[in-house]
Copies of this chain bind each other. A is one copy, B any other.
């Protein structure tokens, strides 16, 4: 499957998001690359040729995508949030030195023995992050 700008409108609509020029560009940045991007990186990508999209719109749009379940947030670096076009359940491998973030398929990973949740609470998600660094 190939993510073109043309598919983006449909993808957005299917998530109840009104497709606009800026939203299509931002979705395209994330989905065509299938990478974890920070708001800053999205901004840079979208504005490579000539300035097209403001900072406010980049942040507004990413938050909207998040609310609508189109992307997921990955909190792994204290200095910035990553946005993840992969919303299927999966985990992350974080290379501390380089800042590289990659996916770990959840299919074969088993987590067991977690204690019961506090009453009246529901799980919103389980984040598993394997932090690695270059061997000394």
Which residues of A pack against B, CB within 8 Å? 73, 75-78, 81, 93, 95-96, 104-105, 108-115, 117-118, 120-136
Contacts and interface: CB of A to CB of B under 8 A. Distances in A.
Contacts of A77: 75
Given A111-B109, A112-B109, A125 B131 contact: yes
A122 B132 contact: yes
Given A122-B132, A132-B124, A108 B113 contact: yes
A135 B124 CA distance: 10
A121 B134 contact: yes
A133 B122 contact: yes
A131 B135 contact: no
Given A75-B78, A126-B128, A127-B128, A134 B113 contact: no
B78 A76 contact: no
B120 A130 contact: no
A113 B105 CA distance: 10
14 contacts: A75-B77, A78-B81, A108-B115, A110-B110, A112-B112, A117-B130, A121-B133, A121-B134, A121-B135, A122-B135, A124-B133, A127-B128, A127-B129, A129-B129
